[in-house]
Amino acid sequence: MRIIPLVLSLCILFTTYHLVGKIRFSDKEAIAQWSRFYEKSIQLEQEASFSKALNFAVRAFEVCENSLPPDHPHTFMTLCRLGHLEAELYRFDESEKHLSRALKITRKRSNPDFAEIGRCEYLKGRLSAIREDTELAIHQYESALSYFKKCAPCDVYLAKTMVSLALVLHKIGKTKEAEDYCLHATEVLGSAKQSKSKTAADCLRLLGHIKQGQGICESAKEYCEGALAIYDELNIQGIDCAKCMISLALVHEKQDDISRAETMLLRALEIVQRAYGPKHKEVKK
């Protein structure tokens, strides 16, 4: 009779071992599948294929919904990505919904992650900027900066937020403040050893745009060409790259180099059309 409990215990142990092993394997498979979809989404965005990038982000989110806990870090990351891409595609309601859900996840943690909160605030600022709600965008970017400074004084997202805030300030005529934020972002990126990152290129692009607006053509040209060199090195042909080409085209136009100006504008137009479609208002601009 004593052998029966022993056999039962062994059976339970054997079953538990295989079930746990299966769950762990399933989690690994889910995360591997999520990574493929998420990384493909990033790649497509860099190629200015926003709609396709969003499709892969949706597929990554389906993996999270079906296989991972609702507060899993990958769920948070995917919600942020959805919100970001939807904002770029002018799907404002969906973007706001996903970003609010991401923020709710991170605020519910027992030890809130300031970097995560900062990232949400940054993306909400980007959404407000696209909506042309300048005052709210500035407030949200400044909120993001306050969170990043608490945890990551040399973080790329800190620099990224500075560049985005600089862009909004430049649009409302606060050019000196915008330039100061860009230069500070450059220092942060240098400390983080990210001087050849996309954020560094975005920073140079904005400095070039500012100098072009001021009529300082040689500085504008130097900044824009530096930005384009980094974009090319990283194989990025996205909207920011197109904006840089437009600034450089305006510099060439002022220098009476119409042929180069036209070449740059045509390259920029091709990128914008690929990103938004031929009838989008950004194409008409």
* pLDDT tens digit sequence for 209-254: 999 999 999 999 999 999 999 999 998 888 899 999 999 999 999 9
Cα–Cα distance, 50 to 238 (Å, whole number): 9
Q: Return the pLDDT at 221.
A: 95
Cα–Cα distance, 73 to 81 (Å, whole number): 12
Classify 154 as helix, strand or coil.
Answer: coil
DSSP category for residue 237: -
Q: Return the pLDDT at 10.
A: 38
Q: Return the pLDDT at 260.
A: 94
> Which residue numbers in the chain have pLDDT < 50?
1-25
pTM of the model: 0.79
Structure-block tokens of residue 284: 């008409």
